[in-house]
Amino acid sequence: MVVRLMTFLMVVLSRACALTTVAKTQGSCGPSMLLLLNKIQFPTRHTSTTTTTTTSSRTQLLLANIYDDWRSDAVVDTMPLEEDNVRSCLEEFVESDYGKQMFGCHDLPASYGITGSIEFVEVDGPEVILTLDGKFWHRRDTVLGRAAMWLNARMPEITDVTVRDPSELEDFENVVDEQSGELLYVKDKRAEDFNGDRGTMEYQGIDPDVRGPFPQGTGGLRPGGSMINPA
């Protein structure tokens, strides 16, 4: 009995070391990590129960909504998917701590040349269509992504949030000669990198949108700030 117990402990320890190595290289929440965790089965008299539980967990992972990880960190009231509710929640997002860093309707971003805006277009079944205009310091797909998370948290029926025109998500625009079709120059649609931080973070391989244009614990990065977690 003692020998069997020692053997079992050695197997568990060896697998734990393997999991630690994977965690260091892929992160503790990576798919490979989950698969390895599923392979560790502790002795039980009810093998069928263990199998059922593992299968159920995998099914839940497959059926999970892409917004669920974020929603699990927030406690917000939900409402049905209706045009008036979308308009109201979108305005709520624009007035949030993150909105006060993103949109030109606020004094601080406007003072640095940020003119970006986001507007409601329509509801098409479970899909919400928006439109982006102006210059953003953030990437335009980041702006849309955070709006999508906000709206979905309030209206879980939403399955997709898109823009009216795909070009609205492009941060750069090719300007071509109308007659020859020759590329004249590439237009930067982003707001000016007023202090050079954005370019520095990009050079260092850091996503500048995670920190935003105004650091030092502003907006949702401060304790008690916005409920959105951009990371």
Give the global pTM.
0.63
Amino acid code (one letter) for 25: T
- DSSP bridge pairs for 118: 132
The superfamily CATH assigns to domain 71-221 is Fe-S cluster assembly (FSCA) (3.30.300.130)
Q: Is the pLDDT of residue 94 over 70?
A: yes
Average pLDDT over residues 64-80: 60
pLDDT at 143: 97
- CA–CA gap between residue 110 and residue 154 (Å, rounded): 28
Q: How confident is the model at residue 74 (pLDDT cuts 50, 70, 90)?
A: low
Domain ranges of the chain: 2-64, 71-221
Of 100, 129, 134, nearest to 117 by C-alpha is 134
Give the CA dihedral 207, 213, 219, 223, nearest 10 degrees: 60
Strands 172-176 vs 127-133: parallel, antiparallel or unpaired: unpaired
CA-angle at 119, arms to 113 and 121, nearest 5°: 150
Residue 190's H or E segment, with its range, is none
Mean pLDDT, the chain, as a whole number?
75
